[in-house]
A and B are shown apart, each in its own frame.
Chain A
Amino acid sequence: MNETIDALILPESLKSGETQLDRIDSILRAAEPLLGVDRPRGGRAYIRRQPGGRLFVTTDPRDTLLFPVGHPREGRPRYRWTALPDGSERGVLVEEARDAR
């Protein structure tokens, strides 16, 4: 059974195209099907540029990589990551992250 993916980390080198919209689309084409985005129902994948040439992509612009400052799990990952050979990583929210942001 395929596990639901909650987040992606993609290398910026996966971007392609000449215009800003082309480059955004090249990432969304890869990310939105994996994240289960339903655009007709208002779903979107949000892209954030992270240091080190990485893109953090989720369906909510409020999502974070780590538990927030002040949380009992402050500084620990909110996702369990699986690395793939192409340099991308697929993340699944840890149980404690489903209620915390």
Chain B
Amino acid sequence: MAATKIQANWTAVSFGSTPISRVSQVSFTQGGSLAAYSADGDHFPTVVVNLMNKPRASVTSADAAALMAIAPGETAAFSATHKDAKGEVGGDILYVLANAVAENAETSGVHGQFGSAKLNLLAFSTDGTTNPLSFTRA
């Protein structure tokens, strides 16, 4: 069967050598932001430009022990594969956030519901020019 070209569920999620299982959510963001310039009598920006991008990722998992063991400041590559919706070969997308720095991990649980933990990551570029967020077909 051909790939559905629709993604559902995540697999092969890892932070460096630490595999992360029981994943319920992963997000990657390009982290773009805009700077707006105005001066003198302007009431609206006369120039809006993208000057800085801060790629980020986050992962939510029921494996709280794995995420809570990652200390803030720890640096590694974060990767995750977004699976083809029907599991067809050639339909998975692999994302890699190089130089991902753990910002914070937190865990929570509501009475009568499953507990989970969430890890937030912010990436840096070793040369200041290359985007640390890459993707490919898995």
Binding site for B on A (CB under 8 A): 19-22, 24-25, 28, 44-51, 56, 61-69, 74-75, 101
Residues of A contacting B53 with CB < 8 Å?
51
16 contacts between A and B (CB under 8 A): A19-B5, A20-B5, A20-B7, A21-B137, A22-B5, A24-B135, A25-B137, A28-B137, A46-B96, A48-B134, A64-B125, A64-B127, A66-B128, A68-B127, A69-B127, A69-B128
Within 8 Å by CB of B91, from A21, A28, A63, A75, lies A21
Alpha-carbon distance A20/B93, docked complex (angstroms): 9
- CB–CB A62/B77 < 8 A: yes
Judge if B3 is at the interface, Cβ distance under 8 Å. yes
- Give the shortest distance, in Å, between A71 (CB) and chain B (any CB): 9
- Give the shortest distance, in Å, between A17 (CB) and chain B (any CB): 9
- Give the shortest distance, in Å, between A54 (CB) and chain B (any CB): 10
| Smallest CB gap from B3: residue in A | A21
Contact with A along B50-91 (1 / 0, CB 8 A): 100100000000000000000000000101000000000001
Residues of B contacting A21 with CB < 8 Å?
3, 5, 91, 93, 137
- Give the shortest distance, in Å, between B123 (CB) and chain A (any CB): 11
